[in-house]
Amino acid sequence: MIELVRPTVDLTRSWWEMVDDFAGETIHGSGYRPDQREVLRDPDVFEEWVDWLGRLERADEALPVGRVPSSNRWVVRDGCVVGTIAVRHALTPSLLVEGGHIGYAVSPRFRRQGVARAALVLGLRLAAVRGIERALVTCDVANVASARTIASCGGVLADERDGILRYWVPTVPDGLPGTSGVGTP
């Protein structure tokens, strides 16, 4: 079963295994940048970073310019981190073009197994809880798998902007048809 869990140091080892699977690729919806790798290898720094990811959810948290409050979750299957997802509570002009309300990534070795769809369904539920009725979800025009995932969750293509497909997806608190085996956000 796929679950969305708050980032936790209890999953540190599994987190780094997932990061290694990406081999330096961008991990959308993670809050992680490859240039942070060495610094975050320090357990104390990693713990602070995990705590910061949790604080991003609070409306009263002072955020860097350009950031909005967001619910960051790790996508977990059978106790193993297999991806990441972030539900942004608002849109900036930049996020309106690229990024949207929900950003997600699935580890390369767990793709084509329904993980992305299950995670997106849960992300849409979380967006509904946050009062978002229609979530903007984007992907690169070349990312056919992500486009199919978004469409399978009810996404309606709004347009393409500079190689980015923009979909509006209704959020449904109770989930979408065909989502058995998907945990709660």
Are 114 and 106 in contact, with CB atoms under 8 Å apart?
no
- Count of CB atoms within 10 A of residue 163's CB? 9
The percent of residues in the chain predicted with pLDDT above 70, rounded, is: 93
**Low-confidence spans in the chain with pLDDT less than 50:** 177-185
Q: Which two tokens stand for residue 76?
A: 């977990």
pLDDT at 50: 95
- Count of CB atoms within 10 A of residue 57's CB? 16
pLDDT at 33: 87
- What is the C-alpha to C-alpha distance for residues 153 and 18, in angstroms, rounded to an integer? 25
Domain range 2-170, CATH class: alpha beta
**Domain ranges for the chain:** 2-170
pLDDT at 25: 87
